[in-house]
Amino acid sequence: MKITGCELRRLRLPLVEPFRTSFATQHARELLLLRILTPDAEGWGECVAMSDPLYSAEYSDGAAHVIQHFLLPRLAAAAEVSAAQVAPLLAPVKDHRMAKAAVEMAVLDAELQAAHMPFARYLGAVNDTVPAGVSVGIMDSTDRLLDTVAGYLDAGYLRIKLKIQPGWDVEPVRAVRERFGDDLLLQVDANTAYTLADAPTLAQLDPFGLLLIEQPLAEDDVRGHAQLAQRIRTPLCLDESITSARAAAHALAIGACSIINIKPGRVGGYLEARRIHDVATAMGAPVWCGGMLETGIGRAANVALAALPGFVLPGDTSASARYYAQDITAPFVLSDGHLQVPNAPGLGIEVQPDALEDVTLWRHYINLQSLR
């Protein structure tokens, strides 16, 4: 496939309500889109880096710089490019996985549109719908938390994930479990907010029958997670620590986790995400698809990924209305607790030009011929 041009766009989408985690409170989602042009199709990629380097070292302005000045020139130097070639071509550029994932996603979308093949079929999906969970941010009161969870359950969500941090952990979980009962699929996410010294506190979550505790310790403390797993009964799931299939295999082998959250942007793209799925499945570990407050572009790709056979736990593949009053594509709508997997070629969605323009902060067109 010959790439003739690219466009970078920085967007800002207001959230329907603030979303608070252990590291930040977001009132809007700023993100980066990449559109590539070929003689036969165009493809969209979404970079999930945040505006500030708080979740990871990457941030959207930095990703835009890396894409324009380091990644796209490497694609331009190749006569033709396929999605399978993107990672090897970009490998000399160290890290910057979220930027690389956006490039690979755009190439893959264009490639599959030209081949009239849906994203889900290419990845190996086996399901037409995927069960939807929802992530609930840290609240200013337990009463508000309970009201919020009740609203999501009334909407049909099949699993609740509570964000936690020191001081907002045991009691909120206790309140949710007591209010909604033992049958509720419930898990928590710490986003690296604890240390191994907090093991006694985390062990107090054991009686609540949680599906998992997600990433309690620092990203680089894989050994610490293995030690923590010996001190608590609740299964550990890794998120930020899993950057590749190799990292996943290592974490599972040493007992640092028994479940993996796969975020394609965090691991460098959907092809690496599929490899992590395959490794975890071979090692008997369930996986689920995490979310980064994606637009309909990224949500379409995540839903397709979550339709693979190893994704046996509901992911953070919430309906569009969970985050945005107006998305840039037709919204994903919850139906009986599930989202429909797109089955049209490529990502299977159409970007709505007027909605896109309404949330665009800036855009920049790049002629690949000038980068050669």
Q: Where are the alpha helices (DSSP H) in 4-80?
A: 60-66, 72-76
Q: Confirm if 281 and 310 have CB atoms less than 8 A apart.
A: yes
- The pTM of this model reads 0.95
Other Cβ atoms less than 10 A from the Cβ of 118: the count is: 21
- pLDDT bin (cut points 50, 70, 90) of residue 18 is confident
Summarize the confidence of residues 2-8 as an average pLDDT: 92
pLDDT value at position 281? 97
Which class for 361: exposed (0-12), middle (13-18), buried (19 or more C-beta within 10 A)? exposed
Q: What residues contact 305, with CB distance under 8 A and at least 6 apart?
A: 123, 125, 262, 264, 270, 273, 274, 277, 289, 311
State how beta strands 338-340 and 129-131 pair: antiparallel
Q: What is the 3-state secondary structure (H, E, C) of 112-162?
A: HHHCCCEHHHHHCCCCCEEEEEEEECCCCCHHHHHHHHHHHHHHCCCEEEE
φ, ψ for residue 346, nearest 5 deg: 65, -140
Helices H / strands E in the chain, number of each: 14, 13
User: Parallel, antiparallel, or unpaired: how do β-strands 185-189 and 25-37 relate?
Assistant: unpaired
User: Residue 371: pLDDT above 70?
Assistant: no
Whether 370 shows a pLDDT value over 90: the answer reads no
What is the per-residue pLDDT across 328-348, written as a single tens digit (0 to 9) for each? 999 999 999 999 999 999 999
Domains of the chain (ranges, CATH numbers): 5-116+350-371 (3.30.390.10), 121-340 (3.20.20.120)
pLDDT at 23 over 80: no
Contact 47, 102 (CB under 8 A): yes
Q: What is the pLDDT of residue 253?
A: 98
Enter the tokens of residue 63: 């990703």
Looking at the annotation, which residues are catalytic? 163, 263
∠ CA(340), CA(343), CA(349), 5° rounding? Answer: 85
The continuous run of DSSP H or E covering 298 comes out as helix 296-305
The kind and range of the H/E element at 224 are helix 222-229
Q: What is the mean pLDDT of residues 211-233?
A: 98
Q: For 115-174, write each residue's pLDDT tens digit.
A: 999 999 999 999 999 999 999 999 999 999 999 999 999 999 999 999 999 999 999 999
CB-based contacts of 326: which residues, under 8 Å, 6+ apart?
Answer: 13, 355, 358, 359
Q: What is the pLDDT of residues 172-207, one digit of tens each?
A: 999 999 999 999 999 999 999 999 999 999 999 999
CA distance 152 to 173: 16
Give mean pLDDT, residues 29-41. 94
Average pLDDT rounded to a whole number, residues 240-265: 97
**Residue 22 pLDDT greater than 90, yes or no:** no
Q: Which two tokens stand for residue 235?
A: 């299964």
CA distance 53 to 235: 28
How far is residue 268's CA from residue 227's CA, in Å, rounded to a whole number?
A: 28
